Structure 1
Amino acid sequence: MLIHSFLILVLTITLITDILSRKILNIITFPAMLLGIGYHTYINGLEGLTFSLIGLLVGFTILLIPFLLGGIGAGDVKLMAAIGALMGAQFVFYAFLLTALIGGIISIFLMLKNRTLFPFFKRIYFKLIYKQQLATEPRKKHISIPYGVPIVLGTFIVMFWGGI
């Protein structure tokens, strides 16, 4: 199907640019949103337009809070919105669930590798029990991942094995 081929192209380009430059390009996400809206409107009329716009809104709002809290970039939000516009609300929701799982697994592995996982849980435990910060060793360097990678992987999994 044409829309699946286009999504594969968008995801592939996003994967490459996010790994190399840690950027998800507007020149990729905005045309993908417009193509999704246009395609579904052309194929199914007003129902297709509604399908695509609801998908775009779900994709956008799913990552809005993590973006506002500074956990992810605006490109990640726009990519999920584009996926929603192309594939619909149900698809983008399942892609988000797998994205969160994959992102969490990657983060745990990176924290284990950098020996920051156990100090992290120690700080959380101390704060929950004693209601204050733990005054021990300084925190190690902040670890971050290009979140486009989990988004792409989660979306590919839903595309090829999700049955949607």
Structure 2
Amino acid sequence: MMDYFHFIILGIFIIIAFYTDVTKSLLPNWLTMSGILVGFIYHLISDGLNGLLFSIIGMAVGGGILMLMYIFKALGAGDVKLFAAIGSITGLQFTLYAMMYSILFAGLIGVIILLVKQEFMRKMFYTIYRLFASIRSKDFKSLENFKRIESTRFPFMYAVLPGIIMTFYYFH
């Protein structure tokens, strides 16, 4: 049972994160930092310094990879801290798979939203046009405005929850 206790912690953490992200469009620092701290403490108690190292590596990789996506404004800072906490709780391997599935689900959700709104082709052509226009003029401010105004946005937790479930399913 102790081997799976961190998945109970993860489940509670994800449910709270899902609720707050969907209702408030926010992943508060108290939640993400608590997730990181609980992951550290749990793994330190259950496996000593090796457990703490397991947790630190998971946090660094989970937060580090998504930091790159944050730099390119693909997601928010709360999502970076969310995956740092997921990494702290579950370690490197689970976090990488959860991240991969979450990103795949996010792409699928985005395409579905565009298809339902019947804007897919228009947005695809317009996005390509804006990208090439920005490259040609070497002015990326218009591209930033385009991303902020025209992009299809939704809470990343809509993709993270099924990504976590899919990862858990394949791990166990």
Question: Which TM-score band (shorter chain)?
Answer: 0.7 to 0.9
Match among 149, 157, 171 for residue 163 of structure 1: 171
Q: For 1:33 and 1:125, locate their aligned partners in 2 and report how far apart those are by CA, in whole Å.
A: 39
Between Structure 1 and Structure 2, the one with more helix by share is 2
Rate the CA distance shift 1:29–1:132 in 2: closer, same or farther, 3 A. Answer: closer
Partner of 2:161: 152
Q: For 1:113 and 1:23, locate their aligned partners in 2 and report how far apart those are by CA, in whole Å.
A: 25
After TM superposition, the structure 1 = structure 2 runs for residues 103-142 of structure 1, keeping only pairs within 5 Å, are: 103-123=106-126, 131-132=132-133, 141-142=150-151
Q: For 2:41 and 2:93, locate their aligned partners in 1 and report how far apart those are by CA, in whole Å.
A: 19
| Gaps in structure 2 of 5+ consecutive residues | 135-145
After TM superposition, the structure 1 = structure 2 runs for residues 1-164 of structure 1, keeping only pairs within 5 Å, are: 1-123=4-126, 131-132=132-133, 141-159=150-168, 161-163=169-171
Cα RMSD after superposing both structures:
2.0
Runs of 4+ that moved beyond 3 A: 123-128, 139-142
**Are the equivalent residues in 2 in contact too, given 1:67–1:73 (CA < 8 A)?**
yes
% identity of equivalent residues: 29
- Using the TM superposition, give the Cα deviation of residue 44 of structure 1 relative to its aligned residue in structure 2, in angstroms: 1.3
> Alignment partner of 2:74: what SS?
coil
| Gaps in structure 1 of 5+ consecutive residues | 134-138
Which residue identity is paired with 2:165? F
Which residue identity is paired with 2:155? P
TM-score by length of 2: 0.82
TM-score by length of 1: 0.86
Q: For 1:149 and 1:127, locate their aligned partners in 2 and report how far apart those are by CA, in whole Å.
A: 28
- Using the TM superposition, give the Cα deviation of residue 49 of structure 1 relative to its aligned residue in structure 2, in angstroms: 1.1
- Using the TM superposition, give the Cα deviation of residue 109 of structure 1 relative to its aligned residue in structure 2, in angstroms: 0.8
- Using the TM superposition, give the Cα deviation of residue 5 of structure 1 relative to its aligned residue in structure 2, in angstroms: 1.1
Aligned length: 156
> Alignment partner of 1:143: what SS?
coil
